[in-house]
Structure 1
Amino acid sequence: MTIHRRAAIGATLASLGAAAAARATAWAPTRPVRLVVSSAPAASLDTLARVLAPVLSQRLGQTVLVENQGGANGLIAMQQVARAEADGHTLLVTGDAIVLAELIAPNPGFTVRGSFTPVTQAVRAAQILATHPSSGIRDIAGYVEAVRARPGRLNVGLPAWGGIAHVVHELLSQATGGLRVEYVTYRGGGPATADLIARHLDALVITLPAITEQVRQGAIVPLAVTTLARDGALPEVPTLAETVAPGFDVESWQGLLVPRGVPAPVVGTLHEAIAATLREPAVRDRLTGLGFEVVADGPDVFARRTEESTQRFAGVVRAAGIRQAGG
């Protein structure tokens, strides 16, 4: 047997051995997979989870269940997943709220870095400031004028106290010389949106995809988005940066995490399945049509993004004196 032939056979055997090892270590769920959503139904997080679930179920070969746990600004969901068995069958669907929860809660019961492993940053999106047709406010300049004319009297809805919408409005206040409003907080974007449409609120700050359809139907008046560029889902809506707050640029992110301790091959399998689901044309088109930008970034990039968010928002939280409601 020649040296070249022996080398070829050796390479083939090594390849087969690697394939066998890969098969031996491959992971697949053995029971239904839970997507625990840190918001109430009808919020943008809930929309993301429910768009993903049926296609992800096909890819994983198991039922994927969506469970909403929107209480305590999402802390219930976060704590529940932090304590879950680290076997890949329980995932947290959340956004910037997890970073902000750690910043504002005196004892959240977890740390982002110590209690979770990021799997996939699924999407990013603008926040949007909106009102209702009978408010008399037609644009963002009119909103700022109305707040200044009636300091502390306009009711502004937030899907959660201390969430990204809260931070956005505080940043807007800083950028425009101070805006005093009365915040009204909810257990998610769905109830907040319903109250805006019912005219119980003067305005609302929320993730854009949560109200895209209501804006298109004329039930809600959009005033401005928080990203530097306009959003393709509602291109007629101006940005804060081009109107009352030059340079303003805040986007929110949403993704999936597992409890710390889930083995790396399991995290890898979950990410591959989720990323492939996000790239499915029907899923991608549904999400982008609502105003999400599909990202599908993996664990390392997602982990860096959570750390960047912590650093960016910590100063705003301190400056605004945001603390856990009732704390």
Structure 2
Amino acid sequence: MSIKRKSAVRAGLGLLAGVVLGAGLLSNFAGSAPVPGEDANRYPNRPVKIVVPVSAGGSADKLARTVAQKLGEKWHQSVVVENQPGASSAIGNAAVAHARGDGYTLLLGGDALSLNALQPGKQSYDPLRDLQGVTKAVVNPQLLVVRPGLGVKTFQEFVALVKQRPGEISMALPGGTGSLQHLAVELLNERIGAKTNQIPYPGGGPATLDVLGGHVDAMLITLAAATENVRNGKLVALAVTTPYRSKALPDVPTIQESGLPDYVVESWQGFAAPASTPRAIVDRINRDVVAVLREPETAALLENLGFTIAATAPEAVDQTVREDIATYRKVIASADVQLK
């Protein structure tokens, strides 16, 4: 997919400013027949798989593995994390959407579910029809980081450098083309009036490796995926995209504080199941995942990484994704952004 920016981009992308970009997963829809013979009281009685639609090493992977370990202890069953990256998360998302709805294949999804729905060529599954939400687990800021050798320490210095060298400063997109990071960077470029050189990646892990290695100058990434590298000085954190600072990195200012008063981007990650999964099993999984997320030890671990615990009911995320799909559609149309 490529994004062609036209003269209307400034006005259209302005609609995105001040809107918290988040999403949720969609509930079971009419026509999705439940799987017979699955008893929620006996669930799970065999191993459970959690599909992560991005590469290992990123924030989604860390979240999935943390929850998987705790669920395995609670359920006395193996809970296996399987990374299926590619096509801006569409490959892994589709794999779960087309899986048997018995509760033994789950998705650790995020913003890509709603974004995929608006992108031609990524519609081998329909999130409105083929998936249902289990819980929105966490919300989190995106974090703008640079390699130390770039020589900038603040957001204002980064903006000045991009304006001085338009099109030269490379920016990794951990979620790939068409991801939340992509739209957020397009918005940032529009707001500062200069263009970065965007490089798509299949996940936060490989994107981070290239920034750490000095092959890419900067990156917009989920804060939880970069916290450790910021603390040990391997990456320089410039700003977070939310209107609030993160407790994990309290000294890092917001982009709003740094000169773009209406810039807001917040992402989310959570769990989904095939739409045909019986509601009793979805409720059982929701209850246990929420309990795990709210355990003081788990919550402290995730919050220290930079996550904010959400731990919602399935219905709460369903309404959010509907609203976000509508929001993204309006922004793309208003800005005359063409998805190919």
Provide the TM-score with structure 2 as the length reference.
Answer: 0.85
What are the residue-to-residue correspondences of 1:57-96 with 2, within 5 Å?
A: 57-96=72-111
Which one of 248, 251, 261 corresponds to residue 276 of structure 2? 261
Question: Equivalents in 1 of 2:336, 2:101: separation in Å?
Answer: 36
Corresponding residue of 1:105: 120
Q: Are 1:172 and 2:188 an aligned pair?
A: yes
Which one of 251, 275, 283 corresponds to residue 236 of structure 1? 251
Distance 1:50 1:142, change over 3 A: same
State the Cα distance separating 1:147 from its structure 2 match: 1.2
- C-alpha deviations, 1:85-120, integer Å up to 9, x for none? 011111010110111112123342112111100001
Question: Equivalents in 1 of 2:47, 2:170: separation in Å?
Answer: 42
Which one of 64, 67, 79 corresponds to residue 52 of structure 1? 67
Letter in 2 for 1:270: I
Moved more, 216-225 or 167-176: 167-176
Corresponding residue of 1:308: 323
- Which protein is bigger by CA-based radius of gyration? 1
For the 8 Å contact 1:103–1:317, the answer to whether it is kept is: no
Distance 1:168 1:196, change over 3 A: same
Provide the TM-score with structure 1 as the length reference.
Answer: 0.88
Provide the aligned C-alpha RMSD in A.
1.5
Give % identity.
38
- C-alpha deviations, 1:131-158, integer Å up to 9, x for none? 0111012111111111111111111100
State the Cα distance separating 1:27 from its structure 2 match: 4.5
Moved more, 146-155 or 203-212: 146-155
Question: Equivalents in 1 of 2:336, 2:297: separation in Å?
Answer: 41
State the Cα distance separating 1:164 from its structure 2 match: 1.1
Gap regions ≥5 residues in structure 1: 1-23
Corresponding residue of 2:11: none
For the 8 Å contact 2:290–2:311, the answer to whether it is kept is: yes
Question: Equivalents in 1 of 2:308, 2:285: separation in Å?
Answer: 20
Question: Equivalents in 2 of 1:313, 1:271: separation in Å?
Answer: 27
Corresponding residue of 1:192: 207
Question: Equivalents in 1 of 2:165, 2:329: separation in Å?
Answer: 29
Question: Equivalents in 2 of 1:237, 1:291: separation in Å?
Answer: 12
Corresponding residue of 1:247: 262
Question: Equivalents in 1 of 2:89, 2:181: separation in Å?
Answer: 14
Q: Are 1:43 and 2:58 an aligned pair?
A: yes
Question: Equivalents in 1 of 2:183, 2:81: separation in Å?
Answer: 27
Structure 1 outlier segments of 4+, above 4 Å: none
Bigger relative CO (Cα 8 Å, ≥ 6 apart): 2
SS in 2 for 1:128: strand
State the Cα distance separating 1:322 from its structure 2 match: 5.8
Q: How many residues align?
A: 300
SS in 1 for 2:135: strand
Q: Are 1:135 and 2:114 an aligned pair?
A: no
State the Cα distance separating 1:320 from its structure 2 match: 6.7
For the 8 Å contact 1:120–1:302, the answer to whether it is kept is: yes
Question: Equivalents in 1 of 2:336, 2:104: separation in Å?
Answer: 38
For the 8 Å contact 2:230–2:236, the answer to whether it is kept is: yes
- C-alpha deviations, 1:283-318, integer Å up to 9, x for none? 111100000001100100011121222122223444
Structure with greater helix share of residues: 1
Moved more, 146-155 or 308-317: 308-317
SS in 2 for 1:26: helix
Corresponding residue of 2:296: 281
Q: Are 1:158 and 2:173 an aligned pair?
A: yes
State the Cα distance separating 1:25 from its structure 2 match: 6.0
Question: Equivalents in 1 of 2:154, 2:112: separation in Å?
Answer: 28
Question: Equivalents in 2 of 1:165, 1:133: separation in Å?
Answer: 21
Distance 1:320 1:148, change over 3 A: farther
